[in-house]
């Protein structure tokens, strides 16, 4: 499998092949705002140096950190600087992982099993880093006869490794590992608990006894995005999840918290690239697990 040098290309390849794609990134692409994928994302940091906001959790990024991001989880790199940031990103088609799982081994476990204290990050030691990079090299260097079998076998071993690591990581979970500004932690928690309700900057400012200008400033500094953009991304994430579960467009709209259908339609279409109805139709065409 040829590795690519763009996250967007990796996502497109993943959707086209309905399997997985690998991107090795050496320099900064134009930073995406808060966004959501239909595919799973595995993010491995080689050089570290930035910060991740995934749903309502902040994580510092160090060399050797591995992040597991589920489909529909909104995420964004924050605290962008001009330094070189080398990383590897795997985009994975969810149904592919389910198809290659067995009754005894659920390779989808680290994506689908999300308890309340779940951490998206695990820090790999030197031996684990070498093992991870070995599997990536095996996937991206496979050529000639049986290359597809070699790629899939290495990919399955990589998933088995990740599941084992995240299973241990969940048992040792400690929320003190998250790096929060106390105000931002409270704001993110409030937004996510009330995402289906009307939420405004003025309401948040009043609820936390802060001025509107101050709450907007500290939120942007901490997350790299605005409060309204974050709320919109979270609501689109919820709507996509409901549409994929078979809910009608109207039901997804009702459950996502948008104030009116016009705003929902425009925001969804702009972020996803297709209308809610077309997205629902495309989702219904995805074949069931074999």
Helix (H) or strand (E) holding 76: strand 75-78
pLDDT given at position 6: 87
Supply the pLDDT for residue 80. 54
- The pLDDT, as a whole number, for residue 53 is 85
Mean pLDDT, the chain cut into blocks of 10 residues (290 residues total): 89 92 78 77 87 84 93 78 76 94 93 78 94 96 94 96 81 45 80 89 90 88 84 90 89 90 92 89 58
Q: Who contacts 260 (Cβ-Cβ below 8 Å, separation ≥6)?
A: none
pLDDT attached to residue 177: 40
- Domains annotated on the chain, with CATH: 7-177 (2.60.120.280), 182-284 (1.10.10.60)
User: Counting every residue, how long is the chain?
Assistant: 290
Name 287's Cβ contacts closer than 8 Å, sequence gap at least 6: 95
How much is the pTM?
0.75
Q: 76 - beta bridge partners?
A: 53
CA 208 vs. chain centroid, Å, equals 28
């Amino acid at each position: 499998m040829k590795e690519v040098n763009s996250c967007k290309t990796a996502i497109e390849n993943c959707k086209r092949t309905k399997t997985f794609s690998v991107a090795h990134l050496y320099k900064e692409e134009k930073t995406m705002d808060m966004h959501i994928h239909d595919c799973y994302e595995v993010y491995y940091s080689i050089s570290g140096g930035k910060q991740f906001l995934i749903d309502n959790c902040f994580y510092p990024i160090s060399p050797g950190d591995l992040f597991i991001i589920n489909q529909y989880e909104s995420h964004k790199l924050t605290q962008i600087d001009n330094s070189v940031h080398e990383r590897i990103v795997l985009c994975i088609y969810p149904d592919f992982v389910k198809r290659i799982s067995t009754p005894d081994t659920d390779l989808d476990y680290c994506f689908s099993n999300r308890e309340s204290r779940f951490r998206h990050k695990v820090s790999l030691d030197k031996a684990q880093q070498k093992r991870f990079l070995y599997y990536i090299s095996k996937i991206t260097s496979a050529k000639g006869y049986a290359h597809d079998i070699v790629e899939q076998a290495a990919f399955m071993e990589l998933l088995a490794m990740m599941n084992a690591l995240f299973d241990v990581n969940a048992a040792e979970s400690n929320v003190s590992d998250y790096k929060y500004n106390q105000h931002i932690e409270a704001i993110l928690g409030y937004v996510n608990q009330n995402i289906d309700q009307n939420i405004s900057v003025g309401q948040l400012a009043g609820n936390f006894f802060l001025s509107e200008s101050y709450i907007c400033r500290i939120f942007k500094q901490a997350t790299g995005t605005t409060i309204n953009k974050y709320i919109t991304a979270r609501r689109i994430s919820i709507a996509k999840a409901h549409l994929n579960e078979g809910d009608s467009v109207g039901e997804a709209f009702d459950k996502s918290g948008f104030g009116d259908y016009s705003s929902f339609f425009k925001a969804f279409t702009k972020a996803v690239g297709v209308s809610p109805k077309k997205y629902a139709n495309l989702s219904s065409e995805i074949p069931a697990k074999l």
